[in-house]
Structure 1
Amino acid sequence: MKKHIGYITLAFLAFLLFSGTPHAAAKQTSSSYSMIRNALLNAQPTGQFDTSEMTYEEVSDIIERVLQENPEILYYKDAKVWSNGNIEFTYSLPSSTAIAHQKQLRTKVKSILKSVNKPGSSDFDKVKAIHDYLVHNVAYDAGNYKQSTVPAASYTAYGSLINGTAVCDGYTKAAQLLMNQLGIENHYVSGFANGEEHSWNLVKLDGNYYFMDITWDDPLPDRKGNTRYTYFLVTSQSLKKDHSWEEKNWPRATSNKYAFFHDFSNAVETAKHYYYSSNADHNALYRIAKDGKGKKKISNVRAPYFDISGDWIYFSNYSQNGHLYKMKLDGSSMKKLNNTHSVDLWINGKTLHYTNEKTAKLMKLPI
């Protein structure tokens, strides 16, 4: 879900911002861009544009560009743009709140980047870590979305990274903010998905562009420990199956280098491999090397929920009523652990956490 921008029309004297695309035909105005950016970053009620660079009718695209390129900006609502160069900004929350939340956000981003930006990590490793972090730590704000009561924060990186709750704009802007800090080329893209306004990321890795929709990779309802990659580093052709956007405004994504991820219904990463439940093979467990080679089937059991600790895979055996089992990484030594339909498995230290599907009760098992 993408947030709408407000509209007011004041004939002759003022021009209110309308929604545009980041590559719309507008002058590349460094002076006006900088003035608008600085005002919005500081949540100021007023700003300026350079009347020698453009007329007031041309300012709307610059404001939209600023918003789409600077995810640190919080709670912008709309703007009146006057022909004398003045701009009046309106925010959905007080400026003092925006500034305080920006400070919290900066601190949180630094903390997240410590876990993402590990020594020797490639840009791909960092992008995947950002994708996984957001899937694991953010829940889609479905309740408010259904009631049309989505709070302003859920459209922002603050909603994702501090509140842990967001709609699509919050996921997209959080990923954008983190990748910006790492110097990875990426862009905020808006369009439609299944007929509704939506946003996602465009990422450049090793000279190739890829699309990434983290919102649609996060299970709904939220399921802790479940990581999907259906929309992770996909091509334009793949994304077009259920997304639409102004394609002429963006580079085409044509590389299939990471297509093997798209078979991952759920996945766990180890030092050398990805273990995953296969979309194409009824959630059977597979292993594949991190370069996408050496794909191997581990077991025929249907295991949509699983996690790994040491040499063991703990999983919900949907070939046996979803009961909890464990087996070695090579598929041997399978052993039943309970008679309960167990879902949402995740391991913390020496404890396996899961949910009893029938009672919805959270359970623990020492391992």
Structure 2
Amino acid sequence: MENNKSIRVLIKKTTAFALCFALSLSLSNVMIAHASEKSINPSSVYKNLLSEPERNVYNQVYNALISYDESLFSMIDPLSEKDLEDTMNALFNDHPEIFWANTSYKYAVDAKGIVHKIKLSYGINSSELAAAKGNFDRIISDLVAGASQYSNDLDKERYIFDAICSMNTYNVSNSLNQSAYSALATGSSVCAGYARAFQMVCLQAGIPCYYVTGTSKGENHAWNIVQINGAYYNVDLTWDDCITEATGFSSYHYFNKNDLEFSFDHSRSPLSSQLMSCV
């Protein structure tokens, strides 16, 4: 008799939209949900889109990442492969501060396609983590202090935007390029790193900021939504920094744009399409 819950394979998975120059992914446009007038908590906006079993796994994995768990552990609620992917994307989209974790992971699935166990991976060794956290926190504190010289959120946001772009160049070879740490501490990153760094610093400066995934110019991509003076805007540091580096002139072509302006070369993923509209 076949045991349908037996573990048959261990699969490595990378969360979606890892590199902005990865293979293109065809996504249909999905109507974007309208946000409430109040700010949505950036640390749980994606979590709130999940089902209860998905949220349970989200919380479990979050705690495992905080404790640097390297084991293959049983999930509190078994999930389908698609539901696990959504859960992991939601977790990493909500929490740029967990910079030491890779967005890739492995899992064990049964004959019915249900995942029972997961194994996380890390980009920074546990022995180096304390020093990396100290460096990470110092850089963020310095950027927040620089932004605090301005009296309004728009000027603070522009300062953070300029600072992160000036600190970086686009580089797919950086082994930590999926993390905010790469853009803040190593001098190079890809779209995921730019967007997570911007999300992290804006939040510390008191500016609501969200991580967005999708496609742009036919490639997988990541960018941000910010809330400034009660309104939501799209921001894409990666493309503006690439334009700046190519032309020698500071670009704000993708700074604080509405959805219509972004729709010409940006399309949100199904998960990110459930975030607030930028009108």
Residue 173 of structure 1 and its aligned partner are, at CA, apart by 0.7
The verdict on how the C-alpha distance between 1:17 and 1:25 changes in structure 2, with shifts beyond 3 A counting, is: farther
Which residue of 163, 166, 173 maps to 1:136?
Answer: 166
CA–CA distance in structure 2, aligned partners of residues 223 and 30 of structure 1: 43
Gaps of 5+ in 1: 1-9, 255-367
- Distance apart, 1:30 and its partner CA: 5.1
Alpha-carbon distance in 1 for matches of 2:235, 2:48:
22
Does residue 64 (structure 1) correspond to residue 89 (structure 2)? The answer is: yes
Q: In the alignment, is the contact (CA less than 8 A) between 2:160 and 2:198 conserved in 1?
A: yes
1:51-100, Cα deviation, whole Å (9 max, x unpaired): 3xx42324432222111111122241213257796532123453334554
Deviation by residue 1:317-355 (Cα, 9 ceiling, x = unmatched) = xxxxxxxxxxxxxxxxxxxxxxxxxxxxxxxxxxxxxxx
Where do 5+ consecutive residues of structure 2 fail to align? 1-5, 18-45
How far 1:33 moved relative to its partner? 2.6
- TM-score normalized by the length of structure 2: 0.71
Match of 2:251 in 1: 228
Partner amino acid, structure 1, of 2:68: A
Residue 152 of structure 1 aligns to a residue whose secondary structure is coil
* Aligned equivalent of 2:40: none
Distance in 2 separating the partners of 1:25 and 1:12: 30
The aligned counterpart of 1:27 is 51
CA distance in 2, matches of 1:131, 1:251: 21
* 1:59 and 1:81 in contact (8 A); partners too: no
- Give the structure 2 partner of residue 39 of structure 1: 64
Deviation for aligned residue 1:161: 1.1
Partner in structure 2 of residue 126 of structure 1? 156
Kept in 2: contact 1:188–1:199 (CA 8 A): yes
Contact 2:55–2:87 (8 Å) recurs in 1: no
Q: 1:17 to 1:166 in 2, by over 3 A?
A: closer
Pick aligned residue for 1:78 from 105, 119, 127: 105
Preserved CA contact (<8 Å) 1:46 1:89: yes
Amino acid of the residue matched to residue 170 of structure 1?
G
The structure carrying a bigger helix percent of its residues is 2
Partner amino acid, structure 2, of 1:133? A
Match of 1:114 in 2: 145
Which has the bigger relative contact order, CA under 8 A and spacing at least 6? 2
Query: Contact 2:65–2:101 at 8 Å: present in 1 too?
Result: no
Between 1:192-201 and 1:58-67, the stretch displaced more is 58-67
Question: Deviations 1:23-65 (Å, cap 9, x if unpaired)?
Answer: 89631455533331122234321376763xx423244322221
Distance in 1 (CA, whole Å) between partners of 2:142 and 2:192 is 22
1:97 and 1:103, CA in 2 relative to 1: closer, same or farther beyond 3 A? same
Which amino acid in 2 is paired with 1:190?
A: T
| Offset, 1:213 | 0.2
Output the CA distance in 2 between the equivalents of 1:220 and 1:206: 27
Percent identity over paired residues: 24
Residues 55, 18 of structure 1: CA spacing in aligned structure 2 closer, same or farther, 3 A cutoff? farther
Q: Which range is displaced more, 42-51 or 31-40? A: 42-51
**What is the Cα deviation at residue 124 of structure 1?**
1.9
Partner of 1:168: 191
- Number of residue pairs the alignment of both structures matches: 235
Question: Counterparts of 1:273-288 in structure 2 under 5 Å?
Answer: none
Q: Which amino acid aligns with 1:103?
A: G
Could you tell me whether the CA contact under 8 Å between 1:176 and 1:188 is conserved in 2?
yes
Q: Specify the code of the residue in structure 2 equivalent to 1:156.
A: S
Cα separation, partners in 2 of 1:19 and 1:140, compared to 1, 3 Å: closer
Contact 2:208 2:227 in 1 (8 A): yes
1:215 is matched with 238
- Hey, what does 1:89 align to over in structure 2? 120
